Structure 1
């Protein structure tokens, strides 16, 4: 405050005093005084604190003095909340003055809402020292609850009083622990005595539990005793009692001597044995103990060079003689198969001899070479040749090739279908986008697709398929298996060289031979098939000639059948007869073509009658140049158009490289005669009345029209109707009568007596019908 301001305050105080001493008319009221003081505080001319009841004012200096007085009266420690009620001042004002007091007086501390002076801290230190002397050791963790002070604050002031107020030492491993010299000496002696008596590795937790040593002090004392050479021992496992182990050097020396001697005598160290000796990490111990000694560390043990050299010599001898060896009997009994495999791998890897380059490890303990495995192949030579001949002669090889080709074709078709779908989708997107200007109004420019000359005749999709998606014969299911692994094994176990080998070893040899033998078998089968084709080439030419003649014969039969059908006036009946003609003779001709070309393309085929499913399958397996015309012929054979069938037939036989000869009129006449004789022979050998009637009307039709009609039994009534105008009345009556009896016989199956009568009548009429049909002459028509 400036001097001029202070003079003004003194002047105002003098006037205030004069006013109080003056008469009642010149005195200020209490309200005026409050207003004046408030105005002075507002103008910051004076610094005052209100009491909580608002009746008194306290200056900061007076408040600080009163706080210090109360701190002294309360023994050097008081909480600010207590000062609020004692001094009748708000907490904020007291806290502000308390902070200023601690800054002005270093001997007073503001901690956790309390004011504490050094005298009180000295008193606390004296109490703690008294407790320390009684117990020898204290921990601040236990004291902070008692004194309600922060542990770091208490630690700071106790450490400052060590050697003065507190007679003791701070634990180096735990700063919150203090102990006396006597306590340290006493426990050091106890620890030294207990550890000096130990001769075997002992868990630190057991030592502490049995002797009730302070855990924190124990490790510091042991470290000191070991560093000063007072104890000849080591601590392993860190500084935690539950994992640390005390190991005396006398035990370590005897342990090391045992380990060295065992390794020297046996050439290996088992990890379990080291664990039983008290070594918690045997592999790590061996690496550290024998870091200068070359050892191979396995899963259950470590092995020295002596055993490795023995295994290397035995394996080298077996490989040099193209034989096999089992290393398990050569290794100690503690070795398992995994250890044996590791030993073999290491020996082969580090061997300098070129013989080991051809070594083959089988299983986990067997070693041989490829020469031994290949030496087993001659055992199967005769079996390969024998089975190759069998599959070729039985047609199984041809069937497998057909299945392979079919699978490849299906995969190719599927890929092409996906490609077409992708291309169609791409064209649709381009059409929507447009190539110029974008949007739906963009103009699309089309370019003519062209092929290079050297690509002519080659299908691009085929090339893409072959390059991108090759199909192996095994994946397509088109391979005949020579032998299973089990069958190969049965042959191998009979060999003297493998009599002592285990089943697993023989099975592995069989598995390694399987692929090679399969390849040899495929080559042998292919050679046998080629030889078979070469031997049958002459027969194949004969078959081609026979096929030409048979097709010529069937085509003539179809033409003659067409002429026969044309004799009927009903269009519906003609269509039915055409359909039946194509279904029989037309389908027979198609079957012959299919069987021929399917054999030519290594597909399945035989001389039996083919079903609709087999015909379609054979057509699907053919190349495209044969598939298309034969598919068209198949479709025509299922219709009723002779012209369509004839056109498809000409295309098909041209695609099959079959050239038909010019129709010979003489042979055509002979064909009609042959067909008549065939009908007569069938009529004479037939016994069933319905069959006799069927063949008789066909024979009579041929006699009258000189054309052979190909019709089933359901057309007999229509044929009789056609024949009646051309037959004598007696012959026509015989046919009509027999037809009626046949119908009665079919419709009266339940009546045995009626059936017997009908059969008797038919037996009487059948010879007459047979005779009338055979001896009928065209000139006899209408004689009666």
Structure 2
């Protein structure tokens, strides 16, 4: 080195020593240092982590080094949360460096928030291997609990060390199980010995329980032994011990021989018997074994062609001889009714010689020919004729017709919408009312056959039309010929089917029920027509009685109106007229409505019907009489006798009834009859109010020579009217009895007063009765 260079070196060394020995002229405070570091971090010029106390900074490299050192110091396994207080660094920073550490160093693993290195896992696997060698078998479930490691991580580490640290092997079917070679060889020998001694099908669960074999190892060992043909047998039922069964080949061969011999000798195979032989799915076994044999597979067994041919021959014989056959008696006892039904269906479907249209299956196991059933129908002919005559004679047939008609009218009644009906609706309505005319030879329509009216007028020899009737369809006919139980009882008495089973009779009865019902309906219709022909004379008599009754009621209404005119008060007149129309008028329209209801086969039970019931019944009558009767019904609710009489004349004409001309002699005798009726009622009456009511009506008739139709509430008004026409004693009797009647009604709580009133009534009633009866005679004698 040159001398000048050395001198320069010495000078620089002296300056450096002087600089070291000299004190600093300026110093940075702690706050300034923090700000400078923060600015450097912000400018990303440096990368450091703060400590938890904020007094120190750690670089990522230093943090990774400290994490590695702590992992080594803790034996190769440490939790990230445990590093937080140790390194005084936040968990997030530790987690980020731990991930980078795991990525850069394959021997370190991050598992469930813990760092684990391979050295630690080597020690763990060595402990596991010691346990495996001691026990011969291990499962990962037990190890995960012991070492608190995930099962998949532990499995991977153990698999990686098989053949090095782990001296054993992994189960092929259950990867979570490990066992040693010695354990495998020992159990393989035991399983081979146990299965070699078995000669019948045995449950795998029983084999494992008796010999204490490991279940997971058993199936893999058996598969290996069977594949190498060291064991002659097979496992059926899957790989679950509770359902699997070991079947030795020696048993399978003897089993197959027994099945073949049984089928050949008996012609069928029972599934239950095959199940007892150890076959879990006998139907599938038969299909697989007898692919080339024609078998019919039933619900409980499979059957060969021999039995099917026997059944076909029996059915053919029964059909050709118009008889029946029960095939359950031809089948072995193991067959049930479901099997018999399937056999019959198969034979009828596949046989070419049987007249299948003639065959009728009864129940599940019997077949009868259609001709045999038809031969049983004539047995019921006498019963049908007898029952038809009975229902016609009792009126049940007529009632059933009325019910049918009412139901049909309700179902076909049009909506009251005000719209015009189309032509189709009009035709349907006319058809429901039937055709008019024809008499007894009239053509019958689907609904009914109406009649021609023969009116009884001046010529008493005129005939009256016969009653119309309705043809009831079999589906809605209410009268039943016989119930199914009754038909069964009759069938049991027939010799040709007396030996048939119970269900045979029930099925035959069910098939005969509808045809017999139709025959019964036709017989009842014919009997009804015969009755109509024989009852024409009786109907004429009824028509005449109705004419006389209507004539009398009209006369009573006219007489009642004349009697009402004697009262000067218009209000009283209106009230009496309303009462007259509600009584005598209602009686007249009731007679007409009931007559037409009977004539039209509409049910009407009583003449004492309410206005609502009468209006409802009118709505069910034929259209041609309905408007007139409705108008007359409305007139009975009014207060005009003239309007009622006009409507009555129209209604009577609409009902095809002609009244005789008025006869004054008969009218006079009718008035006398009414007076005599009042006298008879008065003589038998005991109630004071009724005696007073009848007495004033009788006296009113004597005074005015008219019959007044009034209720008891009009007695005061009638007495007021009669006072000018009666002697003073008679007026006093009537007013006294009236006062006692009123006093009786208003003093029911006072027993003493009631007793006095009754005593007074008892004394007055005979006198009032005598005064009312003798009033006219006294009047007439005084006039003479």
1:527 corresponds to which residue? 526
The separation in 2 between residues aligned to 1:79 and 1:698, in whole angstroms, is 124
**TM-superposed deviation, 1:588:** 5.4
The separation in 1 between residues aligned to 2:32 and 2:569, in whole angstroms, is 143
The farther-off stretch of 624-633 and 740-749 is 740-749
1:443 corresponds to which residue? none
2:174 corresponds to which residue? 174
Kept after mapping to 2: 8 A contact 1:489/1:507: yes
1:467 corresponds to which residue? none
1:285 maps onto 2:285 in alignment: yes
Give a deviation string over 1:487-521, Cα, whole Å, max 9, x none: 32332222222322344432332233222222222
1:219 maps onto 2:219 in alignment: yes
Is the alpha carbon distance of 1:726 and 1:173 closer, same or farther for their aligned partners in structure 2, counting shifts above 3 Å? closer
1:434 corresponds to which residue? none
SS of the aligned residue for 1:234 comes to strand
Kept after mapping to 2: 8 A contact 1:702/1:708: yes
**TM-superposed deviation, 1:191:** 1.6
1:259 corresponds to which residue? 259
Is the alpha carbon distance of 1:262 and 1:678 closer, same or farther for their aligned partners in structure 2, counting shifts above 3 Å? same
Give a deviation string over 1:50-96, Cα, whole Å, max 9, x none: 88888988777777677767777777667777877887877777766
2:618 corresponds to which residue? 619
SS of the aligned residue for 1:235 comes to strand
Give a deviation string over 1:74-119, Cα, whole Å, max 9, x none: 7766777787788787777776666666555555656566666656
Kept after mapping to 2: 8 A contact 1:109/1:116: yes
2:480 corresponds to which residue? 481
1:432 corresponds to which residue? none
The separation in 1 between residues aligned to 2:33 and 2:758, in whole angstroms, is 149
* Among 6, 9, 16, the residue aligned to 1:18: 16
Is the alpha carbon distance of 1:209 and 1:15 closer, same or farther for their aligned partners in structure 2, counting shifts above 3 Å? farther
Kept after mapping to 2: 8 A contact 1:745/1:758: no
SS of the aligned residue for 1:269 comes to strand
1:655 corresponds to which residue? 654
1:402-417 equivalent positions in 2, closer than 5 A: 402-411=402-411, 416=415
1:671 corresponds to which residue? 666
1:356 maps onto 2:352 in alignment: no
The separation in 1 between residues aligned to 2:733 and 2:73, in whole angstroms, is 153
Aligned-CA RMSD value: 5.7
The separation in 1 between residues aligned to 2:58 and 2:583, in whole angstroms, is 136
The separation in 1 between residues aligned to 2:135 and 2:617, in whole angstroms, is 107
**TM-superposed deviation, 1:162:** 3.7
**TM-superposed deviation, 1:636:** 3.9
**TM-superposed deviation, 1:652:** 0.8
In structure 1, the gaps of 5 or more residues are: 1-13, 424-448, 464-470
The separation in 2 between residues aligned to 1:67 and 1:718, in whole angstroms, is 129
Is the alpha carbon distance of 1:749 and 1:601 closer, same or farther for their aligned partners in structure 2, counting shifts above 3 Å? farther
Is the alpha carbon distance of 1:542 and 1:205 closer, same or farther for their aligned partners in structure 2, counting shifts above 3 Å? closer
Kept after mapping to 2: 8 A contact 1:629/1:648: yes
**TM-superposed deviation, 1:644:** 2.2
Is the alpha carbon distance of 1:161 and 1:487 closer, same or farther for their aligned partners in structure 2, counting shifts above 3 Å? closer
Kept after mapping to 1: 8 A contact 2:682/2:694: no
2:515 corresponds to which residue? 516
**TM-superposed deviation, 1:226:** 0.6
1:782 corresponds to which residue? 783
2:506 corresponds to which residue? 507
Is the alpha carbon distance of 1:217 and 1:30 closer, same or farther for their aligned partners in structure 2, counting shifts above 3 Å? farther
The separation in 2 between residues aligned to 1:63 and 1:685, in whole angstroms, is 137
Kept after mapping to 2: 8 A contact 1:403/1:478: no
**TM-superposed deviation, 1:225:** 1.0
Give a deviation string over 1:158-198, Cα, whole Å, max 9, x none: 44444445444333223344444333333222221111111
The separation in 1 between residues aligned to 2:577 and 2:65, in whole angstroms, is 139
Kept after mapping to 2: 8 A contact 1:683/1:770: no
The separation in 2 between residues aligned to 1:98 and 1:696, in whole angstroms, is 129
1:4 corresponds to which residue? none
The separation in 1 between residues aligned to 2:143 and 2:716, in whole angstroms, is 129
SS of the aligned residue for 2:269 comes to strand
**TM-superposed deviation, 1:126:** 5.1
2:750 corresponds to which residue? none
SS of the aligned residue for 2:246 comes to strand
The farther-off stretch of 743-752 and 681-690 is 743-752
SS of the aligned residue for 1:625 comes to coil
The separation in 1 between residues aligned to 2:64 and 2:729, in whole angstroms, is 156
SS of the aligned residue for 1:278 comes to coil
Kept after mapping to 2: 8 A contact 1:169/1:181: yes
In structure 2, the gaps of 5 or more residues are: 1-11, 434-469, 745-753
The farther-off stretch of 618-627 and 242-251 is 618-627
SS of the aligned residue for 1:264 comes to helix
SS of the aligned residue for 1:356 comes to coil
1:494 corresponds to which residue? 493
SS of the aligned residue for 2:226 comes to helix
**TM-superposed deviation, 1:248:** 0.6
The separation in 2 between residues aligned to 1:741 and 1:96, in whole angstroms, is 126
Kept after mapping to 2: 8 A contact 1:324/1:366: yes
1:398 maps onto 2:398 in alignment: yes
Give a deviation string over 1:297-350, Cα, whole Å, max 9, x none: 333333333333333332332233333332322222233333333333333333
1:317 corresponds to which residue? 317
Kept after mapping to 2: 8 A contact 1:404/1:476: no
Kept after mapping to 1: 8 A contact 2:555/2:667: no
Give a deviation string over 1:564-587, Cα, whole Å, max 9, x none: 665777767866776676577655
SS of the aligned residue for 1:514 comes to helix
Is the alpha carbon distance of 1:358 and 1:46 closer, same or farther for their aligned partners in structure 2, counting shifts above 3 Å? same
Kept after mapping to 1: 8 A contact 2:308/2:343: yes
The separation in 1 between residues aligned to 2:271 and 2:381, in whole angstroms, is 51
SS of the aligned residue for 1:391 comes to helix
SS of the aligned residue for 1:368 comes to strand
**TM-superposed deviation, 1:250:** 0.9
SS of the aligned residue for 2:361 comes to strand
**TM-superposed deviation, 1:232:** 0.9
**TM-superposed deviation, 1:616:** 5.3
1:244 maps onto 2:244 in alignment: yes
1:436 corresponds to which residue? none
**TM-superposed deviation, 1:375:** 2.9
**TM-superposed deviation, 1:251:** 1.2
Is the alpha carbon distance of 1:133 and 1:551 closer, same or farther for their aligned partners in structure 2, counting shifts above 3 Å? closer
**TM-superposed deviation, 1:127:** 5.1
The farther-off stretch of 551-560 and 291-300 is 551-560
**TM-superposed deviation, 1:296:** 3.4
The separation in 2 between residues aligned to 1:681 and 1:49, in whole angstroms, is 137
TM-score when normalising by structure 2: 0.72
TM-score when normalising by structure 1: 0.72
**TM-superposed deviation, 1:227:** 1.0
Kept after mapping to 2: 8 A contact 1:71/1:115: yes
Give a deviation string over 1:180-234, Cα, whole Å, max 9, x none: 4333333222221111111111222222233232322221111111111111100
The separation in 2 between residues aligned to 1:696 and 1:74, in whole angstroms, is 134
1:636-651 equivalent positions in 2, closer than 5 A: 636-637=635-636, 641-651=640-650
The separation in 2 between residues aligned to 1:108 and 1:712, in whole angstroms, is 124
The separation in 2 between residues aligned to 1:57 and 1:570, in whole angstroms, is 129
**TM-superposed deviation, 1:680:** 10
Is the alpha carbon distance of 1:15 and 1:244 closer, same or farther for their aligned partners in structure 2, counting shifts above 3 Å? farther
Is the alpha carbon distance of 1:547 and 1:194 closer, same or farther for their aligned partners in structure 2, counting shifts above 3 Å? closer
Give a deviation string over 1:403-457, Cα, whole Å, max 9, x none: 33334444556x73xx65xx9xxxxxxxxxxxxxxxxxxxxxxxxx767789779
